[in-house]
Structure 1
């Protein structure tokens, strides 16, 4: 949180400004309080609840702002009326420097196209479960919880907090101005395993940590490892399906569609038995897996009768489940993946010069792996940090109206 507040004073030095998401299972968990604290420390903060897309990009065009957006769950809730795709697109595109939205301005006789910059730091707060994944993948998500009985915090009084925060904010801005060139030139080293989009998200924060020195480089990288590597990301509908299938296929290289559907719908904590009032069927299964290049193939069942089913190995027009598991799921203990099989075996397996020929039963997934737990509306897109301690070994202090940030 400290690094994010500091980076807002130097956002122009970076190619990316990471989004900050504050969510919780229930109201009264301190999200608004955190925004109020950021409002005292960030550069040109603008705290809002229901600003329109047009208002936001005109505000950002006026001068650099830090947008602190509260109650966004009411906006992005699928049950809410209205189309907020423009707002979502603005928040997504404004993540990278140079992003603009084009609008026609002027009257009909002198209409011109004006490009409004939308690059700006943004913090979003709301109830868990409604934040679009296109935003959360560009964000550090902090899950907040209500204060438990026995946990106490000092009362928050804005007028007193402002007196304390004003000199901190001024010193922070002055320090950032002094190290601006170092921040612009920085190429911070990422913890092992932090690559691609997560590395992009954390680059500005770790650059600030390195410039600050002292405990900050280690503390910042410890936080990066926790949020990126130690916290499981919420599965999508498709990856949950792939993960459950990988568990069911343990030791097998093919399964008839009928048997597979029965096994999926029998999983107690999985959603497959009730998708909008009806169970997962063969057509829906084919459509969902088709996005990953996986399709049904002719196989033989346990009694040797011909049928249709899904194979772990590639066949004609089908990359095989193993390809999808390797590409879209985290690696399992004892499982390293494989490229495919040679032609000439059941299921019309395709042949490629780059494919290693192996026997299906020689390669199995780990049967001891625990299946994914159910994803509920309260656990979706959240990160629980309440048990984290700082790197001096002490519990982190609680902030806001009774919740840990």
Structure 2
């Protein structure tokens, strides 16, 4: 590490942006030499600042520290370089008072422990929101954290806040998030063109309320906005649009990568968005569920230290967290694993209870997404698997299947777009998965229906598109 020959020289104070205002370095000159001339030719770089600048592990330059902590050191201009060990600290606490050490050594340390910071974020957002289960607040705390380092991740998961009725707390979640995420842009009816340009000028975090109003009841409509939200969860994604008049037309590719949280009434969100999202199904509070009153000015003041601590910690650890490959819980694969990777990586780096808490939340949300079908076709496959399993058969006629489907009170098959589902609609829905009507014989008679086995059977579609059926706990216990 560059330094002067004088072993007793003092460390330079940590440079800030204003030190370089109007300053022009000499061509080819190292930053250390530039700083040395700025500070009068005496001293050496602050080792802690150099570690941060170069991305070295904390303690690489002469100092040791525990791996679970991230320390930022600010040395005064008259600091001696003899002692490079930081004072003992308690994880999760701040040390703002100078500490006397080795004569005139005065060191101010700020110890930031990720687990404590995430605990503070979770506690803050829980003051104003009543969530349907204990997994929502930890997930949101991790999601807020990832917005401060989104550029280091390949994926930014969407968060969807849905509810059966208005007044269920969706907007309040976004209002609190606005004080904790990076560069929030809360909007109700922004046009696709405006969002394209805001994201391109980024970084921003999109907080889109009442998003259900821009889609119809089948999840269609506003294709430009849906394209932005769909593609924008991957860092390399762009959306191409034509620009100019007919005589001077050019193709412009808009970067669309940005974290986004979307709130709306359940049922109107396109499947292409929900499959890229972690969905919280909000509910109205019961009379006995109390939350703190939301006062904008008060929240703004109280959220500042929580937000600043989160931003500082993620700024320091973001690159390392973005390069991590966290272990996934059993059964979490493909797109589910893809969208949870950033959140689990942050939880692992934070330590404490967060790795376990994050994986419990991951399993909860992934299982809920698999349990709640994302389309009519998936719902049909799931219901057919239940029908065949309840009867213990490997084949059923179309007439039998339709009779059972029509009798399901909570299923949509008795009123499928205005009338009960018929044989032709059943064949059309299942043909998308390669399932076809098969003729078979039973007691000397020929029937047309569906079978489990074979190239055109239901078994292959169940294995590919449905989660594994839950095991019977009683049967497992008897084994």
Shorter-chain TM-score above 0.5: yes
Are 2:291 and 1:153 equivalent residues in the alignment? yes
Query: What's the secondary structure of 2:371's corresponding residue?
Result: coil
Query: What's the secondary structure of 1:272's corresponding residue?
Result: helix
The answer on whether the counterparts of 1:26 and 1:127 sit within 8 Å (CA) in structure 2 is: yes
When structure 1 is superposed on structure 2, of 250-259 and 135-144 the one drifting more is: 250-259
Higher RCO structure, 1 or 2 (CA under 8 Å, sep 6+): 1
Match of 2:466 in 1: 329
Match of 2:319 in 1: 181
Are 2:171 and 1:36 equivalent residues in the alignment? no
RMSD of aligned residue pairs (Cα, Å): 2.1
Match of 2:428 in 1: 287
Are 2:452 and 1:312 equivalent residues in the alignment? yes
- For structure 2, the residue ranges without an aligned partner over 5 or more in a row are 1-139
Question: What are the superposed Cα offsets for residues 348-381 of structure 1, whole Å, 9 maximum, x if unpaired?
Answer: xxxxxxxxxxxxxxxxxx9xxxxxxxxxxxxxxx
Are 2:266 and 1:122 equivalent residues in the alignment? no
Closer, same or farther: CA 308–229 of 1 in aligned 2, 3 Å: closer
Question: What are the superposed Cα offsets for residues 54-74 of structure 1, whole Å, 9 maximum, x if unpaired?
Answer: 110101111210000000111
Deviation at 1:293, TM superposition (A): 1.1
Deviation at 1:322, TM superposition (A): 1.7
The answer on whether the counterparts of 2:214 and 2:221 sit within 8 Å (CA) in structure 1 is: no
Query: What's the secondary structure of 1:22's corresponding residue?
Result: strand
The answer on whether the counterparts of 1:73 and 1:130 sit within 8 Å (CA) in structure 2 is: yes
Alignment match of 2:234 (pick from 78, 96, 101): 96
Query: What's the secondary structure of 1:134's corresponding residue?
Result: helix
The answer on whether the counterparts of 1:193 and 1:229 sit within 8 Å (CA) in structure 2 is: no
Deviation at 1:230, TM superposition (A): 5.8
Are 2:416 and 1:278 equivalent residues in the alignment? no
TM-score by length of 1: 0.77
Deviation at 1:177, TM superposition (A): 1.5
Match of 1:253 in 2: 394
Alignment match of 1:210 (pick from 323, 348, 352): 348
Superposed, 1:2-401 pairs within 5 Å as 2-78=141-217, 83-106=221-244, 110-229=248-367, 232-235=370-373, 236-249=375-388, 250-301=391-442, 303-314=443-454, 318-333=455-470
Deviation at 1:33, TM superposition (A): 0.9
Deviation at 1:212, TM superposition (A): 1.9
